[in-house]
Amino acid sequence: MNLPEETEILVIIPAYNEEESLERVVSGVRASVPRADVVVINDGSHDSTPLIAERAGATVVSLPYNLGIGAAMQTGFMVALAGDYQVAVQVDGDGQHDPNEIGMLLERLLLGEADVVVGSRYLENRGYITPWPRMFGIRILARYVSMLAGQHFSDTTSGFRASNRRALESCAQNYPADYPEPESLLAFRKMGLRVSEVAVSMNKRYGGKSSITPFWSAYYMIKVILAVTILLLRRAPRRGESTYVH
Amino acid sequence: MFTDRLTLFVFVAAFGLLLLVLEMVRRRALAEKYSLLWLIMAGAILLLAVARPALDRIAPVLGVYYAPSALFVAGFVGLLVILLYLSTVITQLTRENRIAAQQIGILQARLEALEKSLEQAPYDK
């Protein structure tokens, strides 16, 4: 990888009860991008997630109770913002993202043509099989978000991303809750941040269970469609303006 | 003053609610800020129950043919407003709560890192 030597990279791994997979994820990331700092956001886990993360060599930020993936990710961006990192990479704690592909995201990001690079499972067919009810939801969301954004996205639910300083600043200030990926894509577009997709492979989870059951899939889909629609009606936050400071 | 039993019942209930809310505020079980909507609602229903001529004139406008039923319509609308208001309060509390939790997590991590670096490099005595 031919990255400028001074680029400071923070890899953010949100983790909720991921003791089975986290060791492999953290050491995978450290082996693949040795120069990056790794922070695990322990989102109120009830298992040994924070211990395992620390032993694997990550900095651990433990939230006092479960806040949900959106708030956990935002916490990571807050760490990146405060630590003067130039690039933030987000990788799921369950091991479904291949740490060896972080380099691809970074290279694309550092071309400077995009502010956020998203690893897409569906840009190329790499044999990743999604259960059909979820595929159905993912397709509908992708269509809808693409339509609203005026840009084609093949994978709006991917949480495998790299953001430059401008994008991570905006994420630290304002990041959607619960199921943030599709919503954040549209928020990026609204703020004039450029998003591009890179094809990635996706592993099966190392351990634990997916938090997404059919009922919650349906709930999330409806919630995200509502959230995304309302986002359109909202005035775009100005740069540096935060929605959580009153 | 009370031409029917229903109006009397509503009057007593609204008066009771008014007293209960005031007492809860007095005991600090309810903040003044959140008692206001309850007091306004109870007061409005109380007034309508007492001022029967006014109620008789308002009810037909709403399409209510049995005037005392209009009291329930007023109560229902009042409750909806209060519930919606409480939902906004919950939303704000959730947001503030989230920010507090995030800051606690970050501060704790910084504190632990600081303590570790102090242990490794003890200052000269």
Domains of chain A: 9-127+154-176+192-207 (3.90.550.10)
C-alpha distance from residue B87 to each of A165, A233, B92 (Å): 35, 21, 9
Question: Where in chain A does DSSP place strands (E)?
Answer: 9-15, 37-43, 59-63, 87-90, 116-120, 161-164, 195-199
Question: What is residue B124's predicted lDDT score, i.e. its pLDDT?
Answer: 57
The CA distance from A231 to A227, in Å, is 6
Of A179-183, A242-246, B1-5, B25-29, the least confident: A242-246
Q: Which residue has the higher pLDDT, B76 or A235?
A: B76
pLDDT band at A131 (very low <50, low <70, confident <90, very high): confident
Total-model pTM: 0.83
* Beta-bridge partner residues of A119: A198
Lowest pLDDT segment from A25-29, A77-81, A124-128, A241-245: A241-245
Domain spans of chain B? 5-120
Give the B-side interface with A, CB within 8 Å: 95, 98-99, 101-102, 104-106, 108-109, 113
Partners of A37 on chain B (C-beta within 8 Å) are none
At B55 the pLDDT is 83
Identify which has the larger pLDDT, B122 or B9. B9
Q: Is the pLDDT of residue B74 over 90?
A: no
| Angstroms from A139 CA to nearest CA on chain B | 30
Interface test with A, best of B90, B99, B110, B117 (most A CBs within 10 A): B99
Residue A245: per-residue pLDDT: 36
Query: What is the rounded average pLDDT for all residues in chain B?
Result: 89
ipTM above 0.90, yes or no: no
From A79, which residue of chain B is nearest by alpha-carbon distance? B106
pLDDT of residue B36 exceeding 60, the answer is yes
Please answer yes or no on whether B109 and A62 come within 8 Å at the CB atom.
yes
Kindly tell me if the per-residue pLDDT of A45 is higher than 90. Answer: yes
Query: Is A189:A150 a contact under the CB 8 Å cutoff?
Result: yes
For residue A83, what is the DSSP state? T
In this complex, do B106 and A78 lie within 8 Å of one another by their Cβ atoms? Answer: yes
Residue A244: pLDDT over 50:
no
Percent helix, strand and coil across chain A, each to the nearest 5: 40, 15, 45
